[in-house]
Structure 1
Amino acid sequence: MPSATDAGKPASGLYLGLISGTSADGIDAALVHFEAGVEPTRCSLLRGRTYAWEGALRERLVALGQGGDARSLEELGTLDIQVAEAFADAALALIDEAGVPAHEVSAIGSHGQTLRHRPTGAGFDGRHPFTWQIGDGAVIAERTSIATVADFRRRDVAAGGHGAPLMPAFHAALLHSDTEDRAALNLGGIANFTLLPVHGAVRGFDTGPANCLMDAWILRHLGQAFDADGAFAAQGRIDAGLLARLLDEPWFAQPPPKSTGREQFHLDWVDARLSGHERPQDVQASLLELSAITIAEALRAHQPATRRVLACGGGVRNRALLERLAVHLPGVAIESTAAYGLDPDFVEAMGFAWLARQTLAGLPGNLPSVTGARGLRVLGTVHPAA
């Protein structure tokens, strides 16, 4: 397995993580320092920033991520390079802002942008499961002159897993407690849990929509990228009939391991369940309640003794969502990961920096108890520095 030294750079504790999630609302970049030889893992975020997508490119990525068809192979090839160039630009900008010489960064861990996620048991043909994140790692390595690890999810899928979620190993390394059952909750486009019991295996799985449906709905009706503080949802009332139809989705009843994305939960899915007479703000309130209920029910079903939920992702800033979660999870403390030294906006980007570090060290990045893979696997493809 190539190391940072093999890639032509001295090994250091600096790694850079890049991710654009299911909401495609920007490229999250995190420059992270890991303390050498310290277990459990200790790290610090030196700098984190979200870089905006170019408007037309984001619009196309969102359309494809929601199940749209590509116009041609040429378009897909071009998008692969455009995404890589945007990721490389984000990495270089962050390094420049941090005042860190590029040669001091051991590696970049790049998640890329998911266009399709079709793992085993995802409700399609299933004979040839796959996951596809674009953003050519070779282009990132060439433009930054930093070793780049990409395509993290494919090896886990090849080993029979879902390739997701991949953050539980990172969560377990930093957030596990010896005195209480905890759960780390990522509130991105899709919500997912990492279950961290005092005793027993770490588990993790997607629970369904967090922000993706609310973001898409408010964009359609108000032209806003997200519902700041849940204000639009707060103007509406929960439509019990609509909520029941939304909750009737069979995917919610599937047992873990399971994962999902925009190709499953998108506006066409919502539209198919509308009567046609709903007020937009009532639909938004119902979508928020859908997220809160499915998250809470998943936790009660799979780790009912949980006493503390540590939340990260964009949904941490949706006060209405957190309030509804608290209603559905009485007796459970819901806190931001910020209280534990992890900036909630950049936990996933930090996680991909950690995964790059694991890969270069020849260490596994997946947890079979989470993804369902046949065993531990070293993840990702290494593109050495130029």
Structure 2
Amino acid sequence: MSQSLFIGLMSGTSMDGVDAVLVDFDTPSPKLIATHTEAIPEHLFKGLQRLCQPGQDEVNRLGRLDRSVGSLFAKAVNNLLASSGIDKSQVVAIGSHGQTVRHMPNLEVGFTVQIGDPNTIAAETGIDVIADFRRKDIALGGQGAPLVPAFHQQIFAKADKRRVILNIGGIANITWLPGNAEAVLGFDTGPGNTLIDGWVQQVRQQAFDQDGAFAASGKTDNALLAQLLSHPYFMQPYPKSTGRELFNNAWLEQQLEKFGYLDEADIQSTLLDLTCHSIAADILKLSNSGELFVCGGGALNIELMNRLQALLPGFTMTTTSALGVDPKWVEAIAFAWLALRHHQGLPANLPAVTGAKREAVLGARFPAA
């Protein structure tokens, strides 16, 4: 059996599908062999959205969805392998992120919950699964997130190059690679696509704002933008991480109470600027110049990319394609890499990023046998 093929599974805050990648780590730079996105069925999507709203906790629903999401992840793997022509016996392990349904690292007893039962994935694919990557870091006093900066450092860092890797999923996070391995930083900046997707879903019944066209048709309201940016999270020092617990439709409705006069497109534009301004402000705290590489779904939003570039004139800005990695698949590849690190018995967290007491081997193995 090859010792270099791993599968990465990722479903992010946006819940816009399960990304599956088959990666060969036999070369210094990971080689993407095959990709697949498994759509999340409507009934499962609605169940997950309900589960993600604080106050809707229900143990039976959690248990059912844990199994159902595990089966969906297994289906993604089986379809990925069918399309790639690679036999399951060739794959060392699957690295599964799971679906986050609650992320509360700052409570007195902090915790994070990802569902998608790894036992179910292992049973339905016949491949060992490595999962539960975040909770060891939290047990060590960390945020459990973001975990991708360690992967970014390994793949994208270059001596004497000041680089920012910006992942814009439902939540946006940045990795600062100043060209000195000891000084890597990373944290969640705040909302990425979660609010802009939620608003366009609500008022236009569209899954997302294609190219940012709806936002581009509106005009940002500066008073609303200032109110949104006054959220305490943006002032918090890093290490920090966030999710739908803070930035969700209920919070947005509260914020909009005084702004009933605004056009729907103006709200969309303002929400896009919230994403761009919060990201830019955090990047500028680290440096006013360098190279900025964007990945995640936000990299495909033309209006977002244009507005962000205008706020960061000192940075040359492009996507991770320029570094040889398709921006759509970076996070899924990162979870294949996290599985590789666990398999090798190597640490995968960066204490400077998460705030954990020390480096640690992350995740647990769920054998197919």
Q: Give the TM-score normalised by the residue count of structure 2.
A: 0.97
Aligned match for 1:79, one of 65, 88, 91: 65
1:32 and 2:15 correspond: no
Per-residue Cα deviation, 1:319-357 (whole angstroms, up to 9, x for no partner): 000011011101201111011111110100000000000
Equivalent in the alignment of 2:120: 139
CA shift at 1:141, angstroms? Answer: 0.8
Please give the alpha-carbon distance, in whole angstroms, between the structure 1 residues aligned to 2:197 and 2:52.
14
Aligned match for 1:45, one of 17, 32, 36: 32
CA shift at 1:385, angstroms? Answer: 2.0
CA shift at 1:65, angstroms? Answer: 2.1
1:243 and 2:228 correspond: no
Equivalent in the alignment of 1:108: 94
Please give the alpha-carbon distance, in whole angstroms, between the structure 2 residues aligned to 1:21 and 1:87.
13
Secondary structure of the residue that 1:252 maps to in structure 2?
Answer: helix
Q: Is the 8 A contact 1:84 1:139 kept in 2?
A: yes
Per-residue Cα deviation, 1:248-303 (whole angstroms, up to 9, x for no partner): 101100000000001110111111111222111000000000111000000111x2
Aligned match for 1:272, one of 250, 254, 277: 254
Equivalent in the alignment of 2:216: 234
Q: Is the 8 A contact 1:181 1:305 kept in 2?
A: no
Equivalent in the alignment of 1:289: 273
CA shift at 1:372, angstroms? Answer: 0.3
Counterpart residue type for residue 242 of structure 2: T
CA shift at 1:42, angstroms? Answer: 1.6
Please give the alpha-carbon distance, in whole angstroms, between the structure 1 residues aligned to 2:54 and 2:273.
24
Please give the alpha-carbon distance, in whole angstroms, between the structure 2 residues aligned to 1:73 and 1:131.
16
CA shift at 1:381, angstroms? Answer: 1.1
Per-residue Cα deviation, 1:125-175 (whole angstroms, up to 9, x for no partner): x21100000011111111111110011000000000000000001000110
1:307 and 2:290 correspond: yes
More helix by share: 2
Secondary structure of the residue that 1:183 maps to in structure 2?
Answer: strand
> How many residue pairs were aligned?
366
Please give the alpha-carbon distance, in whole angstroms, between the structure 2 residues aligned to 1:14 and 1:248.
46
Secondary structure of the residue that 1:62 maps to in structure 2?
Answer: helix
Equivalent in the alignment of 2:151: 170
Equivalent in the alignment of 1:318: 301
Per-residue Cα deviation, 1:182-207 (whole angstroms, up to 9, x for no partner): 01000100000000011242110000
Counterpart residue type for residue 162 of structure 2: D
User: Where does structure 1 differ by over 3 angstroms across 4 or more consecutive aligned residues?
Assistant: none
CA shift at 1:68, angstroms? Answer: 4.8
Per-residue Cα deviation, 1:22-57 (whole angstroms, up to 9, x for no partner): 00110011110112xx6xx42111111221001011
Equivalent in the alignment of 1:371: 354
1:344 and 2:327 correspond: yes
Equivalent in the alignment of 1:259: 241
Q: Is the 8 A contact 1:180 1:306 kept in 2?
A: no
1:15 and 2:1 correspond: no
Q: How does 1:108-257 map to 2 (within 5 A)?
A: 108-120=94-106, 126-199=107-180, 200-257=182-239
Please give the alpha-carbon distance, in whole angstroms, between the structure 2 residues aligned to 1:348 and 1:68.
30
Please give the alpha-carbon distance, in whole angstroms, between the structure 1 residues aligned to 2:359 and 2:135.
13
Please provide the CA RMSD for this pair. Answer: 1.1
Q: Is the 8 A contact 2:289 2:314 kept in 1?
A: no
Counterpart residue type for residue 179 of structure 1: D
Secondary structure of the residue that 1:18 maps to in structure 2?
Answer: strand
Where do 5+ consecutive residues of structure 1 fail to align?
A: 1-9, 121-125
Counterpart residue type for residue 158 of structure 1: A
Counterpart residue type for residue 324 of structure 1: R
CA shift at 1:364, angstroms? Answer: 0.7
Counterpart residue type for residue 78 of structure 1: R
Please give the alpha-carbon distance, in whole angstroms, between the structure 1 residues aligned to 2:50 and 2:293.
31
Equivalent in the alignment of 1:7: none
Q: Is the 8 A contact 1:23 1:62 kept in 2?
A: no
